[in-house]
Structure 1
Amino acid sequence: MNLIKLSVGTENIEDLAAWQATKRAQTPEGLPRHVTRMWPKREAEIVNGGSIYWVIKGVIQCRQTVLRLDEYMGQDGIRRCAIVLDPTIIRTQTSLKRPFQGWRYLPVCDAPPDLPKGRAAEEPLPVELNRALAEIGVL
């Protein structure tokens, strides 16, 4: 089982990587994490090889393997879930996704495939071209 999440405030995969490189977005040992209010009930399935798929500008563009879920206590005293991620960002075939709040479960059968090894290092397409191609089913 996977998760899917909007990457709010990022324009591209490089922005996501830059945010995750900040101290604020990392665990004490330096791994990227995403803190969310809700704890996934399907935790065992997610940490057993699941990934978080990132939606950037309305398009699923990449994923990261979920390593674990940590409890995170905010300054307001509210218990939250820190989704701890492998720092490797894997580009995927693009897929359009309408806006939604929070995270959602994404079954393995519905997840877009990773880009082939040779294409993963290619310069990414501009966001608008990427979206247009995904809309007509080319990507």
Structure 2
Amino acid sequence: MALHLIKLCVGAESIRDLEEWIEERMRERRRQKLPQEQLHTTRMVPKRVEELLDGGSLYWVIKGQLACRQRLVAIRPFTDGEGISRCHLVMEPVVVPVSPRPYRPFQGWRYLTAKDAPPDLGDGSASAAEMPEELRRELASLGLL
């Protein structure tokens, strides 16, 4: 069964903001003739790599809500130029909105089991997927979505 990660999406105001950031990074990678993959650098290397790569995703918390996810395709530990161990989380550059859920701030990342992961929007909730993100966020905060 897949295992997931949760991480704060610092600086993003919305799912669209995250998508625009990813699009800009992909354009830059094309200009540099680099592989079309999205990398997120983290300090700690997850210990449960096999479970994460068995269909796992990185779930993003945006403005206090679990808002979307990206499928994990690789986890690459490396040492940076200053000799510090780090890790690239490699994700598909496709953002999938999920049923919003409040989430408190935290540092680093956390594991999320498949049974605790929110469903994707559009999986039986097409009307919610069509709502503007701000409306979904407000309805979720009121416990109505």
Looking at structure 2, the residues matched to 5 and 96 of structure 1 have their Cα atoms a distance apart, in angstroms, of 13
Q: Kindly tell me: are residues 17 and 72 of structure 1, through their superposed partners in 2, closer, same or farther at Cα, counting changes over 3 Å?
A: farther
TM-score computed with the length of structure 1 as normaliser: 0.86
Q: 2:8 aligns with which of 6, 9, 17?
A: 6
Conserved 8 A contact 2:14-2:133: no
Partner deviation per Cα, 1:7-29 (whole Å, 9 max, x = no partner): 000001121122223248xxx31
**Number of paired residues?**
135
TM-score computed with the length of structure 2 as normaliser: 0.83
Q: 75-84 vs 117-126, which deviates more?
A: 117-126
* 1:94 aligned counterpart, secondary structure: strand
Q: 1:87 aligns with which of 81, 85, 93?
A: 93
Looking at structure 2, the residues matched to 18 and 105 of structure 1 have their Cα atoms a distance apart, in angstroms, of 26
Looking at structure 1, the residues matched to 81 and 73 of structure 2 have their Cα atoms a distance apart, in angstroms, of 24
Looking at structure 2, the residues matched to 29 and 58 of structure 1 have their Cα atoms a distance apart, in angstroms, of 32
Q: Kindly tell me: are residues 120 and 136 of structure 1, through their superposed partners in 2, closer, same or farther at Cα, counting changes over 3 Å?
A: closer
Deviation at 1:57, TM superposition (A): 0.1
Conserved 8 A contact 1:6-1:54: yes
Looking at structure 1, the residues matched to 37 and 128 of structure 2 have their Cα atoms a distance apart, in angstroms, of 22
Q: 54-63 vs 112-121, which deviates more?
A: 112-121
Structure 1 residue runs without a partner (length 5+): none
* Overall identity of the aligned pairs, in %: 47
Matching of residue 43 in structure 1 with residue 49 in structure 2:
yes
Matching of residue 113 in structure 1 with residue 119 in structure 2:
yes
| Structure 1 match to 2:81 | 75
- Asked which structure has the greater CA Rg, the reply is 2
Matching of residue 99 in structure 1 with residue 105 in structure 2:
yes
Deviation at 1:51, TM superposition (A): 0.4
* 1:48 aligned counterpart, secondary structure: coil
Matching of residue 62 in structure 1 with residue 68 in structure 2:
yes
Q: Kindly tell me: are residues 31 and 107 of structure 1, through their superposed partners in 2, closer, same or farther at Cα, counting changes over 3 Å?
A: same
